[in-house]
Amino acid sequence: MHTCAAPGQGRSRPGHYNGLMARQTLSPEELRSALHQLPGWSIQAGKLHREFQFPDFPCAFGFMATAAPHIEKKNHHPEWLNVYNRVVVDLTTHDAGGVTANDIDLARLLDAIAAKLA
């Protein structure tokens, strides 16, 4: 059973990622290179963006539930939205003010989970 921490009692500190200083945003060249290796991902509103589509709601929700423990372990949480069979994901490192290697790593993780559930 999962228990929730009271507001303000999370594990991370402002300006830090898993206890380490927030990473630097990727340069435009690094971002272009990363996007070439991430089919289906794009940049929208300054965030790494992808829409996953599944056969139905249980599969879409299962994707989120499968990803959640891995995401929590990384302490790098996506902005995501589920509507029926779709999961829309936006990734950015708020502490750094843009897309970082943390976001690229999380995109790869989400792609791998989606591929296993396909």
65: CATH: 3.30.1360.20
| Maximum distance among all Cα pairs of the chain, rounded to whole angstroms | 43
Answer with the residue of higher pLDDT: 39 or 16: 39
Q: What is the DSSP letter of 56?
A: S
- 54: three-class secondary structure by DSSP: coil
pLDDT one-digit tens code per residue, 20-48: 445 799 999 999 999 999 999 999 999 99
If one counts the domains in the chain, the total is 1
Q: Which domain holds residue 111?
A: 42-117
Residue 9 lies in a domain: no
Q: How is 4-53 classified by DSSP, letter by letter?
A: PPPTT--S--TTEETTEEPPPPPPHHHHHHHHHTSTT-EEETTEEEEEEE
pLDDT > 50? residue 77: yes
Separation CA 100–CA 83 (nearest Å): 27
pLDDT > 60? residue 100: yes
Residue 67 lies in a domain: yes
Residue 7 lies in a domain: no
Label residue 104 by pLDDT band (50, 70, 90): very high
User: What is the per-residue pLDDT for 112?
Assistant: 97
Residue 16 lies in a domain: no
pTM higher than the cut 0.85: no
Residue 103 lies in a domain: yes
